[in-house]
Structure 1
Amino acid sequence: MEAIQASTVMNLLAEQYTPKCLRAVILPEEGSPKVFNVNKWSSATGLANSNDIFPDQTANFHRTKLIVSALQYRPLVDYEVVEGSRVVIPKPSIDINTLDAIAYKLNFTYDIVMPADGLWGVLKNDGHWTGIMGDVQFGRANFSLALALTQERANSLDPTKMYIMDALSFITAKSPLSAPWQKLITPFQLKVWVCVVVSVCCGVLLYHVVCHIQATISPRLLDSQAFMNIVASFLSQSLYDYLWLSAGRVFLGFWFLYAFLVTTHYKTSLTSNLAVPFIPPPLDTLQQLLGSNLKYGVIDIKGSIHHLFSTSHIPLYQRLWRDMHFHSDENSMRMVVEGTYSYISYRTSLVIQMLMHNSNPRRKTDLYVATKEFFPTGFVWYLPKDAPYLKNFNAVIWRFVEGGLSNKWLRDLHDVYVKEYLDQKSSQEQEDTAVEKDTRLVVFTLNHLQGAFFLFFIGHGCGLLLLFLELLLAPHTSSP
């Protein structure tokens, strides 16, 4: 029947063929096929009818409601959760702004829903996806919002054009300040302290030898006096008894110069550390993260980051995977602020987290996003395989990319999120912050000088202990 009908159509067109005329055949449900004129062309005016002869049916959805599957991921996707419902209320973000423009252009409405399992999506052995990917794959949603572009996902669904590039990084709390009492030893490295102690021991021994050799021609200094003379040079104390011969004076002269240089360096470094605390350099590479005592991990809703570390053959990624932790975004940032954790995620999201948690200068812990990025990737939306409206989505998305709107929205959202964070603070706290920020004078407190008081109590404690031992041993010691 189909062959006969096709032959009939071709015969009708051949019989009524007229140059410069475009005809179409209508095949009604009842009766014979009919031919009618669709358009006419002339060399002077071209086509008489400028309307599209075969219009794209996906260019207008006629207010059809589409279902969009997404998870919150600032600054790309932001929404407000409705209790008891998977449908969420969208908030300004890069993907939501783009979605509004596409919905207006293609004339459709939408509902954004969270995936039932709360996951980005994991590919199972049977070829089926969970999470957002599974919603699109099984028709529970018409398309997704922000997801990283990977080969496994592109094999199952059709991605749109990339609208933003990003790379992985990690966020940590800046290295905490050392305890104030430790400032007494931080001016010098351990090797320097060892050299100073060894030099003092050698100086006392050599000074004692000089005193012993010259004892025949000059008054002899007691051993305790020799030790006190050497130590006094470090404390800028004058000497009441000293060698008057040339050898002893030469020795003491150069020793005093050495002590002056060492003590000057120590005093100046200690003063600067007390006035302006030294902040150790932050972690910047994955190798440094592995060598630190911090725990680290990724978000617990399995996605591209989880897949990267779990399947990678790179030794560094494999070592990271062995000790990886998995927490929610909120819990991860809480541990980062406490200084015990490093959160691995895409840099764009981490910068937003840093802005929101660092916007108050009174916070005890500042955050830092590592500058060394890894695993760069692009973000796309995923549509069902061979979706006819993919080209229309790409047309709008690419216009935004070419116009730089995605980057502009990203900059605007930075200010929005910081303002949102500051609005949660009380007005009194903000006033106190402003006062402290304008303070320029550093006032030393007991906290700054706790090291000096520790030495005070340690020295007096040692003196009392020695006095107690002398009293115990006094009856058994013969008088001179």
Structure 2
Amino acid sequence: MQQPLDKKWGTPADDGNWTGIVGDLQHQKADFSLDVTLSESRSTVMDYSRVYQNDPYVILSPKPSSLPRHLSLTRPFEGEVWMSFLVCTSFMGVILWLLQKAWSWVSGELGVSLVPTVFHTWGIMLLAPIPTLPTNSTGRVLIGWWLLVCVIVTTGYRSSLIAHLSVQGKYPPINTFQDLLNRDGWSWGSYKFEGGNFLYFNGSTDPDVLEINRNMEVFETENWLEHTLAGEFSFIYLKTWIQIFVARHYTDKYGNTPYQYGTTEYPIFGGNVWGFRQISKMKQRLIEAGLLSLWLDDVLKNEFKQNNTEEEGKEQPLYTEQESGQVVLTLDHLQGAFYLSLLGCCLAFGTFLIEIFFHYYHIQDQDLATTARHNIM
């Protein structure tokens, strides 16, 4: 067994030749190689065995920390919901004032002021007692529907607030590359990309992958473990490789760890294969017999055993994670309340038109009766 002269896995050169192990197979300097990751471009210059293992890339991050308690009062609703409440409540006061103003102009009754009407609608939303009700049906219909909307909104807020105050919420976990890009002030890193890793991150057409690669920190030693645990940093690498290092350094005897693995796995290669010119069927028989699974399990068990032996007698931290299961109410949850508010406005406006219609004909009937009496006299 020997290494390639340039000690590389294999990347394409400008002249169509390949470097490293793939180049040795391409130019028949070796009969076959052990672990090589399969890619479409490599398959054009070498033969390969069936895929026996596919070790995906995962994101290793510290376990989510708790959300600040002083923001619990605003956490039941998202920002867009709070903004919708502010706008809707203010506009509801203006609509009520306009309807009351129009009715007073038609009927000749005394009108209402804008500021008290707006504060009146805000008082209803804040569950303050209603001092007075409008005298006409238009205002009462609108106030009735607004009361129903406020009951739904305040009930949803109270129930969600109790949940957030009872169980401490946590920041959302990082599971994808998009989560990394969306997290403000967050950084990430990995080992230096070579071979198939280099081809994937530099030749991808996915803008998220290219952005991840542009801002990647390169590590040469194992200090990424402490860097990740310090917070606001994630490490991206092969899942099995990361599991071994975490099991060796930061896993207690109960199997708990302060790290969290991203649920999204990125199988950036076609899989692990043996590159060759000729190969027997013996390797496939060993894989199908379960030898690979046995090796991996044995490696992890040895790491756990070695770590527990070295830390024997020391107090081990027990890392646990509690899932809150809380849901922040969004516009999707409370869209019914806004639909009811719109429906109330429509019904109030319809009632206003009906009142105008009856008021108009009532005045006409009075005028006709007065004219008839004058004629008789």
CA shift digits 1:22-79 (9 cap, x unpaired): xxxxxxxxxxxxxxxxxxxxxxxxxxxxxxxxxxxxxxxxxxxxx776xxxxxxxxxx
- Residue 57 of structure 2 corresponds to 169
The separation in 1 between residues aligned to 2:213 and 2:134, in whole angstroms, is: 71
Q: Does the alignment pair 1:236 with 2:127?
A: yes
Alignment of 1:64-143 (within 5 A): none
CA–CA distance in 1 between the matches of 2:114 and 2:40?
A: 80
The reply on whether 1:269 has 2:160 as its aligned counterpart is yes
Would the aligned equivalents of 1:298 and 1:326 in 2 still touch at CA under 8 Å? Answer: yes
In structure 2, relative to structure 1, the CA distance for the partners of 1:194 and 1:170 (3 Å cut) is: same
Tell me if the contact between 1:169 and 1:344 (Cα under 8 Å) persists in the aligned partners.
yes
Equivalent position of 2:191 in the other structure:
299
Q: Shift in Å at residue 185 of structure 1?
A: 3.3
Alpha-carbon deviation of 1:314? 4.4
- What secondary structure is seen at the aligned counterpart in 2 of 1:171? strand
C-alpha displacement of 1:306: 2.0
For 1:211 and 1:153, how far apart are their aligned partners in 2?
77
SS at match of 1:165: coil
Are the equivalent residues in 1 in contact too, given 2:53–2:273 (CA < 8 A)?
A: yes
Structure 1 distance, partners of 2:192, 2:96, is 67
Show the 5 A alignment for 1:447-462: none
8 Å Cα contact 1:163-1:406 kept in structure 2:
no
Q: Mean alpha-carbon deviation: is it higher for 254-263 or for 230-239?
A: 230-239
Counterpart pick for 2:89 among 178, 200, 203: 200
Aligned 8 A contact 1:300 1:328 in 2: yes
Matches within 5 A, 1:329-478: 330-338=222-230, 340-352=232-244, 363=258, 366-380=260-274, 395=282, 397-421=283-307, 429-430=315-316, 433=318
Preserved CA contact (<8 Å) 2:51 2:271: no
Question: Aligned partners of 2:71, 2:14: CA distance in 1, in Å?
Answer: 56
Letter matched to residue 261 of structure 2? L
> 1: CA distance between counterparts of 2:214 and 2:193?
18
1:90-125: per-residue Cα shift (whole Å, max 9, x none)? xxxxxxxxxxxxxxxxxxxxxxxxx99986677888
Deviation at 1:404, TM superposition (A): 0.7
Contact 2:191–2:219 at 8 Å: present in 1 too? yes
- SS where residue 270 of structure 1 aligns? helix
- Please state whether the residue corresponding to 2:318 is helix, strand or coil: helix
**Equivalent position SS for 1:187:** coil
Aligned-pair CA distance for 1:259: 0.9
SS in 2 for 1:413: helix
Letter in 1 for 2:289: G
1:140 corresponds in structure 2 to: none
Between the two proteins, the alignment pairs up a number of residues equal to 309
Which residue is equivalent to 1:187? 76
Amino acid at match of 2:147: F
What TM-score comes out, normalization by structure 2 length? Answer: 0.58
Structure 1: where are the runs of 5+ without partners?
1-66, 70-114, 137-142, 442-480
Secondary structure of 2:127's counterpart equals coil
Q: Distance between the aligned counterparts of 1:308 and 1:257, measured in 2?
A: 56
Contact 2:192 2:220 in 1 (8 A): yes
Pick closer, same or farther for the CA change 1:405–1:250 going to 2, 3 Å. Answer: same
Secondary structure (helix, strand or coil) at the match of 2:92 reads helix
Q: How do residues 253-268 of structure 1 correspond to structure 2 at under 5 angstroms?
A: 253-268=144-159
Contact 1:183/1:270, CA 8 A, preserved across alignment: yes
Instruction: Give the letter for the 1:400 counterpart.
Output: L
Q: What's the TM-score once normalised by structure 1's chain length? A: 0.48
CA-to-aligned-CA distance 1:171-226 (integer Å, 9 cap, x gap): 142666544344433433333223211121122224445676669867x8776654
Taking structure 1 as reference, are residues 333 and 372 closer, same or farther at Cα in structure 2, changes over 3 Å only?
Answer: same
Deviation string for 1:225-272 (max 9, x for gaps)?
544432332332323x21362444433332222111111112222222
Within-5 A mapping of 1:50-69: none
Deviations 1:282-308 (A, max 9, x none): 434x56666666545542263331244
Q: Which amino acid aligns with 1:164?
A: Y
Rounded Cα–Cα distance in structure 1 between residues aligned with 2:134 and 2:47: 94
Q: 1:337–1:366: 8 Å Cα contact kept in structure 2?
A: no
Q: 1:355 to 1:196 in 2, by over 3 A?
A: farther
Three-state SS of the structure 2 residue aligned to 1:375 is: coil
SS at match of 1:201: helix
Q: Secondary structure of the residue that 1:185 maps to in structure 2?
A: coil
Written as runs of structure 1 = structure 2, the 5 A alignment for 1:3-18 is: none
Which ranges of structure 2 fall in alignment gaps of 5 or more residues?
A: 26-31, 325-377
Q: Spell out the pairing of 1:271-290 with structure 2 (5 A cutoff).
A: 271-276=162-167, 277=169, 279-280=171-172, 282-284=174-176
Q: What is the percent sequence identity of the aligned residues?
A: 22
Relative contact order (C-alpha < 8 Å, sep 6+): which is higher?
2
**For 1:249 and 1:292, how far apart are their aligned partners in 2?**
48
Q: Which has the higher strand share?
A: 1
